[in-house]
Structure 1
Amino acid sequence: MGFFSAIGSFIMTPLYYVISAIMVGWHELFTALGLPADSGAAWALSIVGLTLVIRMLLIPLFVKQIKSSRNMQLIQPKVKELQKKYGHDRERLAQETMKLYRETGTNPFASCLPILLQMPIFFGLFRLIDQAAKNGEGRGVLTDEQAQQFQAARLFGVDISETFISAGGDVGVMLMAAALVVAMTVTTFLTQRQLMSKNMPADALSGPYAQQQKLLLYVLPLVFAVGGVAFPIGVLIYWTTSNLWTMGQQFYVIRRNPAPGTPAATAKAERDKARAARKGLGPTPEEQAQEAAAAAEAEAAARRAAARQQPKRQTRSQRTAGGRPAQRGAGPGGATTGGSTKAGAKPATKASKKKR
């Protein structure tokens, strides 16, 4: 156990310093703005500020997640073709699928990166608050005095260091903790639902990637709902704020840069068309009708021209002669050539017989 504790301490100690430095920095700012240093409002707002800083640092990973999710959606038809072709050979199917991922630059696990990278921060904040709440001990740059302030800090008459299961019958703590657990669960569900309903094409909703997303849609909120009763109120504030940030950030990206073939893409095209019409940059409805009528007339004219260019039907004699029409050009000495020579030979023969 000592070995694993040393590894855990080696990983978590830098996080304690980073997390506590950001949180204490926000606390000093709000204290300078007039909030009491030992108030729950100052510490709760410090946790919100910590959340905003962490999420801003994760924006590059979020962009990578969106791109990877879009690629996963767009290659679903190809994945289905591979499943039809190599469905009988699981090993070959896996090889071809991984090859497709490499060629398209797609990482099927990239959608989990922001959550996975937040987990150490989440545990670091949890331990920081837990130790401050239980023992009044600071970690990182959080001093023992500040930890004791946090331990006694109250927000709306509730200790923000308490949890639902450790409320000891305190109705206020239980109500606030339960409300934040519900908020955390609902925002987690809506974040996943927003991505599936707005930014996934129809053919991507039936593949293995869609099944994975549907599983996460219902499993993650359930995990947070069950585990949330053991989280301090301060940690619940962090996670709910993080989910709200994700929803807003995702809404902005989906609205401005949706994946092709999705409901969000259709809505964006309609907004762009309406905006162009309002600014006079695009055709008016009357002009659109005129363009449609002109296009229909052009198409009809093309069909008529194609009908006029059809080859003429051949006569029976022409088909018998190999399908070539008779040529009436004159040959040497005034004799006709081609089919005319043959046609004129028979009357000449009959005339010679009469003379004889």
Structure 2
Amino acid sequence: MTAVWNAFLVHPVINLLVAAYGLLSDFGLAIVLVTVALRLVLYPLFVTQIRSQRAMQEVGPALAELKQKYGKDRQKMAEEQMKLYRERGVNPAMGCLPLLVQMPILFAFYAAMLQMTYGLGGGIGGEIAPLTGAQFETIRWSFIPNPLEASEGLDLTARWLPWLSAGLGATDPIFILPVVAGVTQLVASLMAQPAAQPKNLEPQARMMQSMAYYFPAITIFFAAQFPAGLALYWVATTLFQIVQQYFVTGWGQLTRWLPFLRGIPTPADRALALGQREAINEVERDMGGPAPAAAPAPLSEGSEDVQQETSRRRGRRRRRR
């Protein structure tokens, strides 16, 4: 099993890191480059996850109504719940798919950091003996050049992180990277939550809201125990996620902590406003014509009527696709 794990995940990560190291001559920058490349590959899964999470939050009020109506009849409740999911184009399982893909990559990075720090045959707690050119040759992909001499060890330092004098294979002695990892995780978690929460949140949505505050603390704890290179990977991947969320979902719940962000529109805000306007136009067409001339009420992301109609509109689009 270990041989399969190494062959399909750990050794590919090592090859990518060494290839990036050969280009940049800095192991820290190599970690950042490989992280960005992996995030770009996983971008479609990220969009699927965010859309699934938002869709689940949008159907929260409707699910609460079903529970009040069919709470004692579990079979009927399950049937109506699946019917609602089909109508809105919601697939609850899709929100978990990116996590199932990212976790093996995280563990592979951890194992790769250990093997690059203690050698292919070494283990944590032993004497630090960075991966040599001869060791890398045994797992090297044929199209990747070997930047190391046979007896030369990999330089695990990052010149732009001077406090990590022992290299990225050791833990961060003053916990800067673990704290930064926790803060960026908090920002990303808050941005993943809608700015306007439904009045009646489903248990799953409430749990996700709570994890937005617990997970950063867990991140700091584990990042402080593991090699600094793994903490750097987590910082890089979370910063990239924040940039993605800026374009896909906007500021989200981050505006509750930083109110000045409400005055800074994002591409996601403009897309949401356009979607709400399309939903209103469709309602007007269904009613046989435009609504009577009157001063239009400003569109608000927190408007339940607009949110519900937008959700129905998105559900129809998903079914067409």
TM-score range, shorter chain: 0.5 to 0.7
Residue pairs, 1:122-133, within 5 angstroms: 122-133=106-117
Task: Please say if 1:160 is aligned against 2:167.
Answer: yes
Shift of 1:71: 1.5
- Give aligned pairs, total: 240
Q: CA, structure 1 residues 100+141, in 2 after alignment: closer, same or farther (shift >3 Å)?
A: farther
Taking structure 2 as the reference length, what is the TM-score of the superposition? 0.64
* Aligned amino acid, residue 157 of structure 2: A
Residues 61 and 201 of structure 2 are in contact (CA less than 8 Å); yes or no, is this contact kept in structure 1? no
Tell me which of 199, 216, 221 is aligned to 1:226: 221
CA spacing shift, 1:92–1:215, aligned 2, 3 Å: farther
Q: Matches of 2:240 and 2:3 in 1, distance apart?
A: 30
Residue identity in the other structure for 2:186: F
* Higher RCO structure (Cα 8 Å, ≥6 apart): 2
Judge conservation of contact 1:181–1:225 (CA < 8 Å) in 2: yes
Paired with 1:148 and 1:161, the residues of 2 have a C-alpha distance of 17
Is the CA contact 2:28–2:168 (under 8 Å) kept in the aligned structure 1? no
User: Which whole-Å CA distance do the structure 2 matches of 1:221 and 1:15 have between them?
Assistant: 26
Alpha carbons 1:132, 1:147 under 8 Å: kept: no
- In structure 1, the gaps of 5 or more residues are 1-5, 32-41, 165-172, 257-262, 273-293, 297-356
For residues 62 and 36 of structure 2, the distance between their equivalents in structure 1, rounded to whole angstroms, comes to: 39
Structure having the higher Rg: 1
Alignment of 1:233-248 (within 5 A): 233-248=228-243
| Post-superposition offset of 1:147 | 10
Which of 61, 65, 72 pairs up with 1:81? 65
| Pairwise CA RMSD | 3.3
Matched, 1:174 2:173: yes
Q: Deviations over 1:281-301 (max 9, x none)?
A: xxxxxxxxxxxxx858xxxxx
- Secondary structure (helix, strand or coil) at the match of 1:132 reads helix
Structure 2: any 5+ residue segments left out of the alignment?
120-129, 252-260, 271-292, 296-321
Distance in 1, Cα, partners of 2:81 & 2:195: 20
Which among 48, 64, 70 is matched to residue 32 of structure 2?
48
- Following superposition, the deviation at residue 152 of structure 1 comes to 5.3
Moved more, 220-229 or 107-116: 107-116
Aligned to 1:29: 23
Distance across 1 between alignment mates of 2:85 and 2:96: 16
TM-score by length of 1: 0.58
Amino acid corresponding to residue 173 of structure 2 in structure 1? M
TM-fit CA distance, 1:68: 1.0
Q: Does the CA-based 8 Å contact 1:163-1:229 persist in structure 2?
A: no
